[in-house]
Amino acid sequence: MTAMAQASAGSSLSNRRLRIRRPDDWHVHLRDGPMLQAVVGHTARQFARAIVMPNLRPPITTVAAAVAYRHRITAALRASEGEWKAAGFTPLMTAYLTETLPPAELERGFAEGVFTAAKLYPAGATTNSDAGVRDPLHIASALETMERIGMPLLIHGEVTDPAVDIFDREAVFIERHLVPLLRRHPELKVVLEHITTAEAAQFVAEGPATLAATITPHHLHINRNALFQGGLRPDFYCLPVAKRERHRLALRAAATSGNPQFFLGTDSAPHPRHAKEAACGCAGIYNAPFAIESYAVVFEQENALERLEAFASINGPRFYGLEPNEGQLELERQAPNDDEPGVPLILQLANGTATPTALVPFHAGEQLPWRVVL
């Protein structure tokens, strides 16, 4: 019997294989319509559950809209092809906080198991955030309700003040909005999403157990230089934008530290190629196709492969008060091999229409040493 087969709990690692509990993605954009059909399989192939972001047009602001969206996701899954379908996939829905969303709607959606959490987008901070919140003080009663019922608040933590430099918007948000918000709502469970700075990592690590953060694969791999490497590179543009190298290193330290306040959230955000490579290109990196492989590379480089399972499969469910998944996911390490096709430069994905969706995946053109064994 191999060491891997003997292990009954925790991850197991041989030279070439890593087996972990099936991971979850605590932050993903699945979109809707043909795009949803094109991308949903990439997430479901590796993750058992995912927190699905509500920034559609119009945004998901009612229980009924979330139920209908959940149906569309499961229908899109049924229409997809793939061996991974046997493992099952559960979308966890979120409400999009507006200044007029009745707290009773949040409470009902949470009680009925429709809303797992609610997302705070500062108005104007990112894709489809116009209907978001101008000041967290304007949603005080919603936050009180969430605090009382134990419903997590997920935050896009960037100020929108045009006077603040774009690279400082996360750090300023923490000081200006997050510190006072946590003081006003000390029991509220809060996830600071897709953190990008040393300041955020430190703030979360020093915070209470009710405060956590997701970390994306791209912010662990790239710093802001990637945006300008050999020319303007729209495929590395996302929000919050990648920061200096010292921040990337701090994020890698946080993700691989074993601290249960940090967990996996890809922020995979597909935009069609033509919308990224445009005069005013959209923010978002499509990392879903090779997400767990991308994290495995980072954990291996940091000599922390034995902590990948906690980050990917344990810390998230613990924070959300859910059981970790029963199933397993296996990754295989392959020696560098020029004959392997590697990550495609462009994906042409079937989407139920006559014209496939063209997307540039994160790591396009690279050989990744890890691959999921299905």
E-state strands within the chain = 12-13, 17-21, 25-28, 49-52, 90-96, 115-120, 153-155, 190-192, 211-215, 262-264, 328-333, 347-349, 357-359, 370-373
Position among 19, 21, 22, 29 found at the interface with ligand DOR (CB under 6 A): 29
Give 317-321's long-range contacts (Cβ < 8 A, gap of 24+).
317/24, 318/260, 319/152, 319/189, 319/191, 319/212, 319/260, 319/261, 319/263, 320/26, 320/116, 320/117, 320/152, 321/150
Which one, 158 or 309, has the nearer CB to Zn ion? 158
x-or-dash pattern for ligand DOR, window 37-66, by CB under 6 A?
A: ------------------x-----------
Residue pair 372/45 in contact by the 8 Å Cβ criterion: yes
192 binds ligand DOR, rule: CB under 6 A:
no
Which one, 190 or 304, has the nearer CB to ligand DOR? 190
267 catalytic residue (yes or no): yes
283 binds ligand DOR, rule: CB under 6 A:
yes
Q: What does the alpha-carbon distance between residue 269 and residue 236 come to, in Å, rounded to a whole number?
A: 11
Range 102-141, binding ligand DOR (CB under 6 A): 126-127
Sign of the dihedral through C-alpha 229, 235, 241, 247: negative
CB of 345 to ligand DOR, least distance (A): 21
- In terms of Cα–Cα distance, which of 310, 327, 355 is closest to 45? 327
Q: What does the alpha-carbon distance between residue 92 and residue 50 come to, in Å, rounded to a whole number?
A: 6
Phi, psi of 349 (to 5 degrees): -105, 135
Position among 41, 284, 316, 324 found at the interface with ligand DOR (CB under 6 A): 284
Position among 211, 238, 291, 359 found at the interface with ligand DOR (CB under 6 A): 238
User: Which two tokens mark 71?
Assistant: 């149906």
Q: What does the alpha-carbon distance between residue 87 and residue 147 come to, in Å, rounded to a whole number?
A: 34
CB of 166 to Zn ion, least distance (A): 17
x-or-dash pattern for Zn ion, window 262-291, by CB under 5 A?
A: -----x------------------------
312 binds ligand DOR, rule: CB under 6 A:
no
Which one, 253 or 283, has the nearer CB to Zn ion? 283
CB of 235 to ligand DOR, least distance (A): 11
Which one, 145 or 266, has the nearer CB to Zn ion? 266
Residue 238 binding: pick among ligand DOR, Zn ion, none (C-beta 5-8 Å cut-off by kind):
ligand DOR
CB of 195 to Zn ion, least distance (A): 12
Applying CB under 6 A, the residues found at the interface with ligand DOR are 29, 55, 126-127, 156, 238-239, 269, 283-284
Applying CB under 5 A, the residues found at the interface with Zn ion are 267
